[in-house]
Structure 1
Amino acid sequence: MTKDYGSLIRKLPDFPQKGVVFQDINPLLVNWKALQAASNDLAMDIDIIMPYSTKLIAIEARGFIMGGIVATLLNAGLVPIRKKGKLPNYDSLRSIEYQLEYGTDELVMDMSLLNYHDKIVVFDDVLATGGTAEAAYKLLEKEVEKGSFAPLNPDNICFAFLLEIDSLKGREYLSKQTKIPSENIISLIHA
């Protein structure tokens, strides 16, 4: 298996709307050797930046696919962040509305799945503008303000992505908005 994962990403212009180039990871996912190798490489890269991670927060929906594999390789628990209306209405649910590159959406997470001293990896398939990962971070940050979690810093949180669209400068935006250094933002493929 060559490590040219980028050659397995299909680009679809004007989807889901005109001007957006959709990065289709399905060709990588269907190739079990590539999926296994990419998951292993991501887990190794994460382990260098955030050793002994305890939770991987996977962002719906494509973040779930590799998130479960990577969490298992890290010996970490998987915490899903869902879209509004996809989780039962627990008292521990928290939500945040955020801006997408082509609209708005809302993320929801069950905070009871996290512990005060967790070392957290926020994972999604693609880093585009950084808005979705920032929303996940801000959801956690709200709980820090309530005293539910230790303050977020480079020692207890990092971000990981299968693919980063470099031209959209999501890494710079995410680092600026969260105060998490660029070195704590891991991407396996750059497009």
Structure 2
Amino acid sequence: MRERSPRDCYLIGTDKMSGSANKIDEIKKAISSYPDFPIKGILFRDVFSVLRQPKIFGLLRDVMVEHAKQLQPPVQVVAALESRGFLFGPLIALELNVPFVPIRKKGKLPGMTRTVQYSLEYGQDAFEMQEDAVKQGDRVLIVDDLLATGGSMSASCSLVNAFGAEVAECFVVMELSDLNGRAKIAANVHSLIQYD
């Protein structure tokens, strides 16, 4: 059996990247857009249209899991934001064989919780995690469907850090790039699909 040359390794890596890019193109085509929802002037990107197509949903799962497996050092916990993050976080956690932890709105989780408040356009909101959800030093992957203005993702990072854990990455399916939400987030951000 012949040894692989550097060129072979480059081609294998390129094939893998182009395969992922093709899958992401298919996923992007399957995302429905709704103008003037929930209010006039907003173009709503609906990830639920992907979930209605098992083949495309399978591609999305594969791409997300493949990316999460490449993070180094490895992820030790997957956390996801209420509520659409719950569609993807458990799938990734199961494939990585690590715990899944929900990040929920205040008052939704039983037992002792830790809370962080964050600002909205009109007022404030709060996220909570259960006290035994993560341990100090854990590397946590935070998952959601969408990154817009970055307020809820930034709050989630603060919550994870409050446990003494490290945010390995913030991982979203879609990002509204023109809102520049990632500028509010201290951790690395990875989005599969970007919209201007």
What range describes the TM-score normalised by the shorter chain of this pair?
0.7 to 0.9
Match of 2:117 among 75, 93, 97: 97
Counterparts of 1:133 and 1:67 in 2: how far apart (Å)?
14
Query: TM-score under structure 2 normalisation?
Result: 0.79
Match of 1:185 in 2: 189
Match of 1:165 in 2: 176
Contact 1:6 1:190 in 2 (8 A): no
Aligned length: 173
User: Any idea what the Cα deviations from partners look like across 1:148-173, whole Å, max 9, x if unmatched?
Assistant: x4xx3xxx521100111111111233
* 1:69-148 to 2 correspondences below 5 Å: 69-88=91-110, 90-91=111-112, 93-100=113-120, 104-144=124-164
Percent sequence identity is 34
Are 2:60 and 1:56 aligned? no
Query: TM-score under structure 1 normalisation?
Result: 0.81
Note closer, same or farther for the CA distance 1:157–1:101 as it changes in structure 2 (3 Å cut).
farther
Structure exhibiting the larger radius of gyration computed from Cα positions: 2
Q: Tell me, which stretches of 5 or more residues in structure 1 are unaligned?
A: none
Shift of 1:18: 3.5
Are 2:40 and 1:36 aligned? no
**Residue aligned with 1:44, SS:** helix
Shift of 1:101: 5.5
Note closer, same or farther for the CA distance 1:108–1:6 as it changes in structure 2 (3 Å cut).
same
**Residue aligned with 1:112, SS:** coil
Shift of 1:143: 3.0
Q: For residue 107 of structure 1, what is the amino acid of its counterpart?
A: F
**Residue aligned with 2:63, SS:** helix
Shift of 1:19: 3.5
**Residue aligned with 2:67, SS:** helix
What is the alpha-carbon root mean square deviation over aligned residues?
Answer: 2.1
Shift of 1:99: 2.7
Counterparts of 1:49 and 1:101 in 2: how far apart (Å)?
33
**Residue aligned with 2:49, SS:** helix
Higher relative contact order structure (alpha carbons within 8 Å, sequence separation ≥ 6): 1
Shift of 1:26: 0.8
